[in-house]
Structure 1
Amino acid sequence: MKFIKNYTDLLNHATKLRKDVLDILEHILNQTDPEEAIKRSVILKDNYLTITDIKIHLNKIKNIYVVGGGKASFRMAFALYNILGNRIKKGIISVNETSENKIGPIKIIKAGHPIPTQKGIQASKEIIKISEKAKEDDLLIALISGGGSALLPLPFNGITLSDLQDTNELLLASGANIYEINVVRKHLSKIKGGRLSASSYPANIISLIISDVVGDDLSSIASGPTAGDDSTFEDVNKILTQYKINNKVPSSIAKIIKKGMRGKIPETPGSKEPVFLRTQNRIILNNLTALINGEERAKELKYNTLILSSAIEGEAREVGILHAGIGKEIVLSSHPLKTPAIIFSGGETTVTLAGYEHKIGGPNQECAIGFMKKFDPSSKMVFLSIDSDGIDGNSNYAGGIIGGIPLSIDKERLSLVLERHATSKFLERINGNIQTGATGTNVNDIRILGVSR
């Protein structure tokens, strides 16, 4: 197995269904390779560069620059350089996992995620320098993927890195969804919320995007550096108030928000502003693509299949409980599918930590244990939930898997684990952690529910 590193351990005393569910997951991860997505999307032939549906005569382009950031952006840049080679004049990419510092003319800076670091600020500054240098006859190719919000911070003057880190930690622990978190991030940054496009104008920008956001909202993916943003400082204040962290953010953050609400700091450029006339955004990979690839593999294995949704959000444990209910319905009434059945879902769940921030776990492991609360060990069901980037929450695991091996459940113990969010250690004890390490991609959460005859 290329991705699932503890595959052999997970199959100890396992049923065929558990093996098939893990096989389908491995197939999904293979098919969501960012390098392959770039190869499908970018074609160079006879001095014409075709990027998705955009055809460019390179005689009309003086310089090609490559910029970007995100968990998948290194592999995207690697594939792009293999296509364009020395036609790329210069580039900067901010990533979280690599030992490389260069791909041809593209400089690689290893920054921090999910908490921003000084290296991310350095990368962002260098990207803005390139964008400001680009002219009307230049082409800027932006490689954007999930994780770019933390990897490309660049706060406003007066906001320290420590202030930004503290605010990110508050947001991540608050229960706010990624859309809400990114609304806040955009209004504290000189590169997010369309500001990269604004600094590049009138250069041509084509953004190739791997989406980790429910609904593929361009302004939310990596906080939308090349997408118009219609949210406001007033929205930021409402989000911080809703999650009761408005009085906890550092004073420098509160000051920026108040200035913005009074009109003393410009809002992010809106979607109809002219700075976006020369920007074209293209999504080349997303969660639904991943689920469709999984469904194709499940059909090859002779399962009845259904993609439930790629847009499921909410508290992780409740999503797990929902999937247990769907599994029970299949067992009892053959609805919505007859067995053997595989149901796929995606999206992004959250966990409200409420004082247990130090515990090790993540939303996908909590989702698996939520499933376990309503799971009968004697039933013929298997459920897994992973973060496609391979890192779930603050743990070293991608997520968790329940069912398909001998298992006894202590419901009282289970409730305590969920209350304290100590999910990693619990799943370790029952051979339920999925370990992949960083996968090099990021298309949000992947959930697979299997029910055998």
Structure 2
Amino acid sequence: MQKNLRSDAVGIVSQAIAAVNPYACIQRSVQRKGDILHIGSRSYDISLYTNIYVVAFGKASTSMSAALEDILGEKISEGYAITKYGFAGSLNKIIVMEAGHPIPDDNGVLAAKKIRDFLERTGPKDLIFFLISGGGSALMTLPRKGIALTDIINLTDKLLRVGATIDEINTVRKHLSAVKGGGLAKIAYPSESVSLILSDVVGDSLDVIASGPTVPDRSTFDDFQEIVLRYGLQLSSAVQGLLEDGLEGVIEDTPKLEGPMFEKCYNYLVGNNLLALEEATKKANELGYNTLLLTSSLAGEAKEVAKVIASIAKEERANAVPLPLPVCILAGGEPTVTIRGRGKGGRCQELALSFAIEVEGLENMLLLAAATDGNDGPTDAAGAFADGDTVDKGQDVQMEARVMLQHNNSYQFFKETEDLFITGPTGTNVMDIYVLLVQGDT
């Protein structure tokens, strides 16, 4: 693996991640002049509110909260932030709590209850800032009446194992939760609120990010049932009973567009994968590559997506198409992994290993697949590097790439070949970035 390609790829990804630093995203999006805040198309005179509160949840909640503390200072009356274990930081006026991700845990339930009880005390002269980022759906979990946390954990685990999309997972979560799918806006009403949102989903759909707690929900109990049937999921008796009650109209569906609570809730997107890719493009151009930003909406099975990226690498090496060499092809998104083995890995590592198999023997090229939050699946790696020598490197350390891929054990493979990409928690989360570098013969 050529060192200059690896260092170039790291530089490109690093600049991309820096562009979506949550602190910087909030600072860019919230402009204060005296007591007037300018956010997108709205302005707020903070002197008119009795209290200003902050509620943050997601992997980027600590950094987003720190930025808002610096903007509002003593104007903040009280606040809470829920983040993933290991992602916490020190804040002045906002209490930080840690919880489980991607599988919710008791700490997430306790934190959600605390936030619910807190919001129920707010009134029409209060202003609430919701700071929402990827991971928020798992981190703030408040089951509907009659649903246990274990019901949600078991069903979430099943959905992850069958390769369900984040949209599908969140559709189910919304209907098992009292705070998702517009539920948080309902609890906060009649207070006025502003949701500042860092997107971690393909297409930036606000009702999907963190399961859309402050926006009208488009999904229904019918959608929930369709997902269950599509994957042949076995439900607990409690979840089956709730689904049947929902289908029959015995219990209310999630809040829809006509709800009055949404008239007082402003949702504003502060950063996304495309912003990161645009900065990556600038860096790649500076390094002398002819650069193509392919898409920020990459989706599908990671192993299949890898084949598409590999085909582009082969075309570039053979014919310098679609761009003359040296070239940088950039893509972002969030592929899925269907878990069939008992190994360890994440979607970026799985994609990288599949790519390595497809390009075995191909020279002068490199792929870096990286999760922008620094955690690819349940591992300490952000992703992995792969090139035409990767399969041979595995054999040198008694690692057969195809067998390891079959067992979803990409982490162990790349650990042995020393090709893991490790950044530690980045404090942000805007899905994944894929950097393909191809150069001519030297």
User: Which residue of the partner structure matches residue 413 of structure 1?
Assistant: 400
> Aligned equivalents of 2:439 and 2:27: distance in 1?
37
> Aligned equivalents of 2:367 and 2:182: distance in 1?
39
User: Which residue of the partner structure matches residue 6 of structure 1?
Assistant: none
Is it true that 1:296 corresponds to 2:287 in the alignment? no
Q: CA deviation at 1:262?
A: 1.1
Is it true that 1:310 corresponds to 2:296 in the alignment? yes
Is it true that 1:323 corresponds to 2:306 in the alignment? no
The answer (yes or no) to whether the contact 1:211–1:287 under 8 Å persists in 2 is yes
> Aligned equivalents of 1:292 and 1:108: distance in 2?
32
Is it true that 1:427 corresponds to 2:402 in the alignment? no
User: Which residue of the partner structure matches residue 363 of structure 1?
Assistant: 347
CA RMSD of aligned residues (A): 1.8
The answer (yes or no) to whether the contact 1:15–1:405 under 8 Å persists in 2 is no
1:380-409: CA deviations, max 9, x gaps? 110011111111112221111112878626
User: Which residue of the partner structure matches residue 7 of structure 1?
Assistant: none
Change (3 A) 1:393 1:99: closer
1:116-153: CA deviations, max 9, x gaps? 11111111112222322222221110000000010011
The answer (yes or no) to whether the contact 1:193–1:225 under 8 Å persists in 2 is yes
> Aligned equivalents of 1:54 and 1:97: distance in 2?
34
> Aligned equivalents of 1:314 and 1:137: distance in 2?
46
Is it true that 1:372 corresponds to 2:361 in the alignment? no
User: Which residue of the partner structure matches residue 20 of structure 2?
Assistant: 32
Alignment of 1:109-258 (within 5 A): 109-245=97-233, 247=234, 249-258=235-244
User: Which residue of the partner structure matches residue 55 of structure 1?
Assistant: 43
User: Which residue of the partner structure matches residue 322 of structure 2?
Assistant: 336
Alignment of 1:263-274 (within 5 A): 263-274=249-260
Q: 1:262 aligns with which of 248, 259, 263?
A: 248
User: Which residue of the partner structure matches residue 3 of structure 1?
Assistant: none
Aligned length: 437
Q: 1:74 aligns with which of 38, 54, 62?
A: 62
Q: 1:447 aligns with which of 423, 434, 439?
A: 434
The answer (yes or no) to whether the contact 1:315–1:349 under 8 Å persists in 2 is yes
Q: Which moved more, 1:394-403 or 1:211-220?
A: 394-403
**Runs of 4+ residues deviating >4 angstroms:** 98-102, 404-407, 409-412
Residue ranges of structure 1 left out of the alignment (5+ in a row): 1-12
* Residue aligned with 2:300, SS: strand
The answer (yes or no) to whether the contact 2:290–2:324 under 8 Å persists in 1 is yes
Q: Which moved more, 1:31-40 or 1:216-225?
A: 31-40
* Residue aligned with 2:392, SS: coil
The answer (yes or no) to whether the contact 1:109–1:123 under 8 Å persists in 2 is yes
User: Which residue of the partner structure matches residue 262 of structure 2?
Assistant: 276
Is it true that 1:351 corresponds to 2:359 in the alignment? no
Aligned-pair identity (%): 39
The answer (yes or no) to whether the contact 1:70–1:151 under 8 Å persists in 2 is yes
1:331-360: CA deviations, max 9, x gaps? 222221111100110111111113x2x311
> Aligned equivalents of 1:413 and 1:442: distance in 2?
32
**Amino acid in structure 2 at the alignment position of 1:186:** K
1:94-117: CA deviations, max 9, x gaps? 111458586222111111111111
Q: CA deviation at 1:439?
A: 1.2
Is it true that 1:398 corresponds to 2:382 in the alignment? yes
**Amino acid in structure 2 at the alignment position of 1:451:** V
The answer (yes or no) to whether the contact 2:144–2:176 under 8 Å persists in 1 is yes
> Aligned equivalents of 1:97 and 1:39: distance in 2?
25
**Amino acid in structure 2 at the alignment position of 1:133:** R
> Aligned equivalents of 1:31 and 1:385: distance in 2?
18
> Aligned equivalents of 1:112 and 1:414: distance in 2?
31
Change (3 A) 1:235 1:115: same
**Amino acid in structure 1 at the alignment position of 2:318:** L
Residue ranges of structure 2 left out of the alignment (5+ in a row): none
**Amino acid in structure 1 at the alignment position of 2:437:** G
**Amino acid in structure 1 at the alignment position of 2:68:** L
> Aligned equivalents of 2:90 and 2:96: distance in 1?
5
1:57-103: CA deviations, max 9, x gaps? 12322211101210001110011111111111111111114585862
* Residue aligned with 1:176, SS: coil
TM-score (ref. length: structure 2): 0.95
The answer (yes or no) to whether the contact 1:14–1:405 under 8 Å persists in 2 is no
* Residue aligned with 1:110, SS: strand
Q: CA deviation at 1:53?
A: 3.2
The answer (yes or no) to whether the contact 2:59–2:87 under 8 Å persists in 1 is no
Q: Which moved more, 1:130-139 or 1:60-69?
A: 130-139
> Aligned equivalents of 1:122 and 1:450: distance in 2?
46
Change (3 A) 1:72 1:410: closer
Is it true that 1:93 corresponds to 2:81 in the alignment? yes
TM-score (ref. length: structure 1): 0.93
1:307-338: CA deviations, max 9, x gaps? 11000100001111110101111122222111
